[in-house]
Amino acid sequence: MQDNGLKWLHKSSVVVDGYNPGLLEPISRSMARGSLNHLNFFGCDIWQAYEVSYLMPSGCPKIATLTFKLDAHSDNVVESKSLKLYLNSLNNHMFKDEEAFYKTITCDLRPILGESFSLEVTYPPFAPIINTLPLADWNCLDTLSHQGIEIPTVPDQNVLNVIDDAQVSEKLYTMLFRANCLVTNQPDWATVMIEYEGSTWDKSALMAYLISYRNHQGFHEQCVDRIYSDITDMLNPKALFIQANFMRRGGIDITPVRTNKEDFEFISGRDWRQ
């Protein structure tokens, strides 16, 4: 068969042949945190996997979705492509019941994620309506005039600045955030939500800072760790909450949350692009 100029048509990929927990790969959080000044945050990472299936004793497939909640200070995260391959390895594996499926995944992930994660498995019928992110009372940075904004070629916390000592409480978001996967260099898009209390920030500078991640290579969690640390370093807010809803890639989306509030609440709902 001729390729007809289709460059990637015949490129091979990893073939998963049967259940294989050995596919899972840990990534230490300490790998990217050594250079950060502020790690005294609370938070979590929400992982949602949508392409999940296994076989029932009859041989008929069963589909599900998975939701992981992982403490932001766990020693490791699981590398997302390895998780995707692992989930694929379950597709033709037979489980006697739903409990056996749940226990298998929990036992396979526990050595990597420790005790600080929870797992929820959802089966059809799924919720008919999935709420979008409740952004009606949040201010969109994307509507700011971009004229005159100098965007660094790499993330630089020094562009961030306070413009007024007047104390405010603001909810801000952007849908323009993009970084690149540390492993594959594929683009990762996100809606980043930032709520703070404290002195008034220069929002154009904040926008330039967030856009500067456009060619930065880093995992989702690493990017949000750094944003939290840089903002804390330069803007010193009394209260700070950051949630980044990353777009689904490979059937998995990841939403890190970082905050200095111990009693924080994850903002449920999905970006419309998810």
H or E element in which residue 193 lies: strand 187-201
181 catalytic residue (yes or no)? yes
CA dihedral 167, 269, 225, 235 (to 10 degrees): -10
The alpha carbon of residue 3 and the mean position of all alpha carbons in its chain are separated, in whole angstroms, by 36
Angstrom distance (rounded) from CA 44 to CA 115: 13
Closest by CA to 218, choosing from 75, 38, 13, 27, is 27
Q: Which of 71, 181, 202, 233 is catalytic?
A: 181
Start-to-end CA distance of the chain, whole Å, equals 36
φ, ψ for residue 115, nearest 5 deg? -90, 0
Asked if residues 227 and 254 have their Cβ atoms less than 8 Å apart, the reply is no
Distances (CA, A) of 171 to 141, 229, 241: 10, 18, 9
60 catalytic residue (yes or no)? no
Q: Strand, coil or helix: what is 171?
A: strand
Q: Which of 45, 188, 225, 271 is catalytic?
A: 188
Residues labelled catalytic: 181, 188
